Each structure stands twice: as C-alpha cells, then as structure tokens.
Amino acid sequence: MISILFSVFKRDISLAYRQRAELLQPLLFFILVISLFPLGVGPEPETLRKIGPGVIWVAAILSSLLGMERLFREDFLDGSLEQTMLSGVSMSLVALVKVFTHWIVNVVPLLLLSPLFSLFLNLSDEMYWALISTLVIGTPILSLVGAIAVGLTVGLQKGGVLLALLLLPIFVPLLIFATSAVDAAYMQLPYNAHLAIIGAMLLLALALAPFAIAYALKVSQN
C-alpha cells in the first residue's frame, strides 16, 4: 500500500513539472493580482495595510482554483483512475495523496512568496505572522474541499466555470476568519481563537474529505 501511494505521489509530481506552463499559471496569476491591485486603490501605506490580507487571500483562492481542475484530469483521461479503483487500493488514501501533492505543487510556492508581498502591501510583522499562520492552516482546506468538486466534475468537458461556482461560496467562511485574524493582529489583539476555528475546519476536512472525494470519483466513473 505504501509503495502504491508513493508511486501516485511520484507520478503526480513528475506530471506537474512536465507541464510547466500549466504549473506556472496559478503562480503568475497570484503575482499579477497582488502587483496590480495597489495601482487601482492607490499607494497609501495605511490603505494597503488594511486591504492587503484580503487581497492575498482572495488571490490565493483564485490561484488554487486555476490549478485544481487538472487534479484528476490526467488520471481520468488515460484510464489510470479507473484502474486504481479496480485494483482494490483505498481511493480515499489515493485521493489524500493527490490532494497533498496538489498543495505542495500549487500552494507552497504562493506561501514562499508571501513575505515579499507582505512588504509590498506594507504589512507589519504581527500582521505577517498572522497571515502566514492562516495560509499554512487554511490553504490545505482549499485543496481538500476543492478536490470534492473536482471529483464530481472530472468527466465534464468544461468544468472550470462550474467548479468556481461550486467552490467560491464554500470558501467564504474561511476567508472571513482568515482576514479577521489578520485584522486582530493589526489592532494588537489576540487571534488564537480565529486560528483555532480554521484549525477545526482543517481537521474536519481531513476527516471527511478523502471519503467524499473517493465517492465523487466513483460517481463520475459511472
């Protein structure tokens, strides 16, 4: 079982870096959104400090949606997804490995760029640490919950628009708690409660999402 899951991880990593154009799309979109936004609202440091966390989080959500559509696409097209289901391997574990791979490939680069954009948006040190904490805890939720919708729409020709319509309303509570945590840091208030709520969301997603993804993929194959 471990060797099979490692093979799935290795294959997804190699496929991601083989398609470098698609791999760079979410990252470039993230950079462009955050770079262009100050030009529209003005360069005032206080304004950028107030809207900066929300801008980064919205850009992160939209960027993750760009790379999410191909999460199971290659496996569905070449038939390996069906073969995996017939092999008797736990699809929930396979789905969890693929989601983890998606998070590493698409989201971790965004986290690595966040210090640069925190300076660009004039965030204080307290706001930056609150922001990076919410991103580390919250972005896996984007991948886990998003993979459920991807599993349901994997067989559709143009499922990207439907995917966005399904997921954007679901991510609103996460966006609210994440930006509220950074706002609390901005006002020198404790934000542990916000992080605890986001952490509870993550634990719930880790417990339920793999099984929901496996069921969604089975439905799509039928």
For the stretch 76-89, pLDDT in tens is 777 777 777 777 77
| Distance separating alpha carbons of residues 89 and 217, to the nearest angstrom | 14
pLDDT at 7 over 60: yes
Q: Which pLDDT band holds residue 117 (cuts at 50, 70, 90)? A: confident
Q: Cα separations (Å) of 195 from 56, 111, 140?
A: 17, 17, 14
**Segment 11-63, tens digit of pLDDT:** 777 777 777 777 778 888 888 888 887 777 777 777 788 888 888 888 888 88
pLDDT at 160 over 70: no
- Quick count: other Cβ atoms within 10 Å of Cβ 45? 10
Q: Which pLDDT band holds residue 208 (cuts at 50, 70, 90)? A: very high
Rg over alpha carbons for the chain, rounded to the nearest Å, is: 18
pLDDT at 35: 81
DSSP state of 155: T
| Distance separating alpha carbons of residues 55 and 35, to the nearest angstrom | 10
Confirm if 195 and 134 have CB atoms less than 8 A apart.
yes
pLDDT at 138: 92
Q: Report the b/e string of 110-121 with b at 16+ CB within 10 A.
A: beebbeebbebb
What is the percentage of the chain residues whose pLDDT exceeds 90? Answer: 16
Q: Is the pTM above the cut of 0.75? A: yes
What is the percentage of the chain residues whose pLDDT exceeds 70? Answer: 94
Show the 3-state SS of 25-89.
Answer: HHHHHHHHHHHHHHHHHCCCHHHHHHHHHHHHHHHHHHHHHHHHCCCCHHHHHHCHHHHHHHCCC
